Structure 1
Amino acid sequence: MTQALVIGGTRFIGRHTVTELRDHGYDVAIFNRGEHDDPFADTAVEHVQGDRTDDADLADAAHAVSPDVVIDCVAYRPREVRTATRVFDDVDAYVVVSSGAAYGEEAIPKREGETGLCACSDEQATDDSKASYGPRKAEGDRAVFTAAEKGVRAMSVRPCNVYGPYDYTGRVDYWIDRVANHDRVLVPGDGTNVWHRAYVEDVAAALRIVAEEGTPGEAYNVGDRRATTLDELVDGIARVLDESVEIVHAGPRELAAGDIDAGDFPLYRDYPHLLSTAKLSGLGWDSTPVADALATTVEQYVESDRDGSEYGPDREDEARVLGVLDTLA
């Protein structure tokens, strides 16, 4: 049986990746600091505790597990990828979770090997800010390419915005909260904004498939095969909840009445962000139908104790905008 090591493994992408690997016959170990509840504590999943930013801890985990496959879910700095590709230079596959944010060039769609990546300065490489996230992921991908040139079976998977059960980011939670608790949902722009999303179980499947079938030194985009607009997201949530809501669109002038910027809304982006998934599909990957993925996402949110209202604009500010729009109607 193939031994897999998931770096991370208990919260979101890593949690689903552990399940995906186990469902496909892998023995799985996870390596993390143990700061979050372990959903696999009562299973055969081995837990190695340590800090992945500590080179000695990472080497100890490699020795303890002797993995055939490594899935790296929490490499946030280029140095961490470079270290991991040295520590795991003899595995059958090392796959790092990168991001669609690694693309620095705007194109529709963004394609691996064609669309330019972000540059990354030395300062950005060690920074933890949101602004440097894309550059850091891009530099991590370049570390994968360099390692592959040296014979390491290293690959990268680039998800766009990931959603699904146990998502702690709040990006979709906000919209579920609005649909569940309000008759009118304020949507910036005309509702046709597209910021490509990726269902988490499909991301987990992509990581496994790339480990099994991917080419060293290559990156693979992953996202829903059918991208949906922001209006379609709201409509889809309403169908799952069996709610009837009115979508109200607002431009910059109307949003200003509530001191709101369009970028304050989760999953809003001025320029469309769309990733080609043809390369990954060529390996035999396919995605979950969006309606099914959204149903599972909403159902888990309802069962959880998460509160999506804390993300995005305050409802009182939105109410002022809705009031202005009513006077203009």
Structure 2
Amino acid sequence: MPSALVVGGTRFIGRHTVAQFLANDYDVTTLTRGESDDPFADTDRVSNVQGDRNDREALERARDRADPDVVVDTCAYFPRQVRTATDVFADCDSYVFVSSGSAYDQNAEDVPMREGETPLHDCTDEQAEDESMETYGPRKAEGDRAVFEAAEEGVYAMSVRPMLVYGPHDYTERYAYWVNRVAEYERVLVPGDGGSLLHRAYVADVAHALRLVAERGEPGEAYNVADRDAVTLDRSLTLAADALDTDVELVHASEHDLARGDLSPEEFVLYTPSPALVSTEKLHALGWDSTPPEVAVRETVQSHREHDLTGEEYDPGREREARVVDALTE
């Protein structure tokens, strides 16, 4: 039976990745710090090694205990982490780094963004060690370059670039904000005309992509992953309403309209002023496909409501929203 080592594995992408490998007859080992509840603690085919992935000895201990055929690295956020991992796991059949669509240089304005064509962010030495979200894209881009360098040295290393990931157990609660709005209010304020296109990736599809790339990908290559059918912000809210079996009126507001409530479009999570889309043809060629949006949203909505996720931290203030809604619908 083949074996997989998942660096991470208990929270979101890692959790679904473990489930994906189990469903495809792998034995799985996770490397975690033990700070989160382990959903696989009672699963016979999942072993856990506790340790900090920043500790090379912990990576080596996990490698030696698991003897993995494939390694999926879900929690490498700094290029030095990727360089260490590609060295430690150099003799494995494959190493897959979870990068991000944010690695692409947004100034390129490519629609869609394509692997090997759309430029990646540059990354300075200072950015490579900075922990702020402003350097997230550059750090992921440099992690991709570390993968490419390792592949040139003979390591079977690859990169997967998910767009914004959503689904059950999403601790970021970004989509949960909108689900809660649809569930709690008859009228929901939406910035712009509702056509905002921020490509998203259903988490189970990301996990599927990680396994396929580990099994069939080419070393030194990167693979985008996102829903094959990109949906607008309006469409995602309509799908949420369908999943909740409720009706909702979407109230669209221009930047001028939002100013009535001292709001701006950028205060609304998942809004983007220009399309952010990626091509998934390269991944599709490996045999991958995505879950239909209505199914993915339904599963996500049910999970968010079951776990009382509200995305409260993204709330721009209902009172301010109500002032705009009332002004536009009176």
TM-score by length of 2: 0.97
Q: Given the alignment of the two structures, is residue 259 of structure 1 paired with residue 246 of structure 2, yes or no?
A: no
Alignment of 1:135-284 (within 5 A): 135-284=138-287
Aligned to 1:5: 5
SS in 1 for 2:158: strand
Q: Given the alignment of the two structures, is residue 124 of structure 1 paired with residue 110 of structure 2, yes or no?
A: no
Contact 1:178–1:309 (Cα < 8 Å) also in 2: no
Amino acid at match of 1:81: V
Aligned to 1:38: 38
Q: Distance in 1 between matches of 2:308 and 2:253?
A: 30
Aligned to 2:55: 54
Amino acid at match of 1:48: V
Q: Distance in 2 between matches of 1:299 and 1:223?
A: 21
Q: Distance in 2 between matches of 1:322 and 1:306?
A: 24
Unaligned stretches of 5+ residues in structure 1: none
Query: Alpha-carbon deviation of 1:111?
Result: 0.3
Query: Alpha-carbon deviation of 1:305?
Result: 2.8
Could you give the per-residue CA deviations for residues 218-250 of structure 1, whole angstroms, max 9, x where no partner exists?
000000000000000111101111111110011
SS in 1 for 2:224: strand
* More off after superposition, 187-196 vs 250-259: 250-259
Query: Alpha-carbon deviation of 1:294?
Result: 0.6
Q: What do you get for the CA RMSD once the two structures are aligned?
A: 0.9
Q: Distance in 2 between matches of 1:258 and 1:122?
A: 41
Could you give the per-residue CA deviations for residues 155-214 of structure 1, whole angstroms, max 9, x where no partner exists?
000000101110111111001000000000000000001000000000000000000000
Query: Alpha-carbon deviation of 1:316?
Result: 1.3
Unaligned stretches of 5+ residues in structure 2: none
Aligned to 2:305: 302
Q: Distance in 2 between matches of 1:301 and 1:259?
A: 29
Could you give the per-residue CA deviations for residues 128-153 of structure 1, whole angstroms, max 9, x where no partner exists?
11110000000000000000000000
Q: Distance in 1 between matches of 2:251 and 2:130?
A: 38
Query: Alpha-carbon deviation of 1:264?
Result: 1.2
- Aligned residue pair count: 327
Q: Distance in 2 between matches of 1:111 and 1:68?
A: 29
Q: Distance in 1 between matches of 2:222 and 2:268?
A: 30
* More off after superposition, 306-315 vs 143-152: 306-315
TM-score by length of 1: 0.98
Q: Distance in 1 between matches of 2:315 and 2:97?
A: 30
Query: Alpha-carbon deviation of 1:323?
Result: 2.6
Query: Alpha-carbon deviation of 1:309?
Result: 3.5
Amino acid at match of 2:48: H
Query: Alpha-carbon deviation of 1:324?
Result: 2.8
Match of 2:328 among 300, 303, 325: 325
Could you give the per-residue CA deviations for residues 42-75 of structure 1, whole angstroms, max 9, x where no partner exists?
1121010000011222122212222110000000
